[in-house]
């Protein structure tokens, strides 16, 4: 099993806390315009899967933060200071003037740079985890500002609940969509990487209108992912995944998440989900396939 370590870990406590970094899925993603600061104005409905990476922490006897990474996708990450988990820990330390350290262990279950917020979810989990470990009192607004400084998706990943996300990720509104919580969901990645910057750069700049996410029927019928066409152009395997998902029995909808390359499908029943997962694994052994549900919390 791959294992990466940054820093030594003296005198660890037996206390260990754990957080799940839930996979983020964009049920719809509308790109509206380019802002003066260079970011794009987005409208997206975020949901979170029950599956994700696992992050654990123990206190250290010094002020250092160390990170070890293991799991199926550990080899794609560096555990150094540029890792978002490390950046989150150092940002929280600096904000709070915290003099305690932490030994962090990340089990990387999700593909890296794949449109399901893996790094952002890891950073958010690190913030939640270290607030608990160090027992610090921080205002939600301050935590949100730290999260936004780490990446556009990180603020939404703090709560990891279904929400409308606008702006560059700083405008959040919890959204209740009838029939959505607990829905069986299949995540599929074809094993190819795409550059978020490249995909945004290839977007055709056409504003196709706002996102109405008041009901699942509207999300399915009127929603879209504006980054799907440029992502498919960059990585045609995404189209293969979408075709495979849409041909499965019991599928309600299938789209690409984020800037790709992971795609998702919502299913009528657990039986349909299991059958689709088994079929895609049998026919596409090199694809990453994960059966899960949309989080209800």
Domain locations along the chain: 3-174, 184-293
pLDDT at 5: 52
Q: What is the pTM of this model?
A: 0.93
CATH architecture of 184-293: 2-Layer Sandwich (3.30)
Catalytic residue, candidates 53, 122, 153, 226: 153
Task: List Cβ neighbours of 278 (8 Å cut-off, separation of 6 or more).
Answer: none
| 153 catalytic per annotation | yes
The topology (CATH level 3) of 3-174 is Ribosomal Protein S5; domain 2 (3.30.230)
- How confident is the prediction along the chain (297 residues), in pLDDT tens digits per residue? 344 454 444 555 668 999 999 999 999 999 998 788 877 789 999 999 999 999 999 999 999 999 999 999 999 999 999 999 999 999 999 999 999 999 999 999 999 989 999 999 999 999 999 999 999 999 999 999 999 999 999 999 999 999 999 998 999 999 999 999 999 999 999 999 899 889 999 999 999 999 999 999 999 999 999 999 999 999 999 999 999 999 999 999 999 999 999 999 999 999 999 999 999 999 999 999 999 999 986
* Beta pairing partners, 5: 68
CATH topology identical between 3-174 and 184-293: no
Print burial letters for 125-138: b (CB count within 10 Å at least 16), e (below 16): bbbbbbeebbebee
Side-chain half-sphere CA neighbours of 28 within 13 A: 25
Q: Among 24, 87, 107, 108, which one carries the catalytic annotation?
A: 24
Q: What is the 3-state secondary structure (H, E, C) of 44-72?
A: EEEEEEEEEEEEEEEECCCCCEEEEEECC
24 is catalytic: yes
């Amino acid at each position: 099993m791959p294992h990466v370590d940054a820093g030594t870990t003296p005198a660890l406590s037996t206390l260990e806390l754990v957080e799940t970094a839930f996979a983020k899925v964009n049920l719809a993603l509308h790109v509206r315009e380019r802002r003066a600061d260079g970011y794009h104005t987005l409208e997206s409905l975020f949901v979170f899967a029950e599956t994700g990476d696992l992050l654990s922490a123990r206190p250290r006897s010094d002020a250092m933060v160390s990170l070890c990474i293991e799991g199926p996708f550990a080899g794609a990450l560096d555990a150094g200071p540029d890792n978002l988990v490390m950046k989150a820990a150092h940002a929280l330390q600096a904000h709070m003037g915290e003099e305690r350290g932490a030994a962090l262990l990340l089990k990387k279950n999700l593909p890296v740079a794949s449109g399901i917020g893996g790094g952002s979810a890891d950073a958010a989990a690190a913030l939640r985890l270290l607030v608990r470990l160090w027992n610090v009192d921080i205002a939600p607004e301050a935590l949100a500002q730290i999260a936004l400084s780490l990446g556009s998706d990180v603020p939404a990943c703090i709560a990891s609940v279904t929400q409308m996300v606008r702006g560059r990720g700083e405008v959040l509104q919890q959204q209740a969509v009838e029939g959505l919580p607990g829905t069986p969901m299949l995540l599929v990645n074809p094993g190819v990487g795409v550059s978020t910057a490249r995909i945004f750069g290839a977007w055709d700049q056409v504003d196709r209108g706002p996102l109405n996410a008041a009901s699942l029927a509207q999300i399915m019928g009127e929603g879209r992912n504006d980054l799907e066409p440029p992502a498919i152009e960059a990585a045609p395997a995404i189209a293969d995944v979408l075709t495979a998902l849409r041909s499965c029995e019991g599928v309600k909808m299938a789209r690409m998440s984020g800037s790709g390359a992971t795609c998702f499908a919502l299913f009528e029943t657990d039986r349909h989900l299991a059958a689709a997962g088994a079929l895609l694994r049998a026919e596409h052994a090199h694809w990453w396939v994960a059966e899960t549900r949309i989080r209800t919390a």
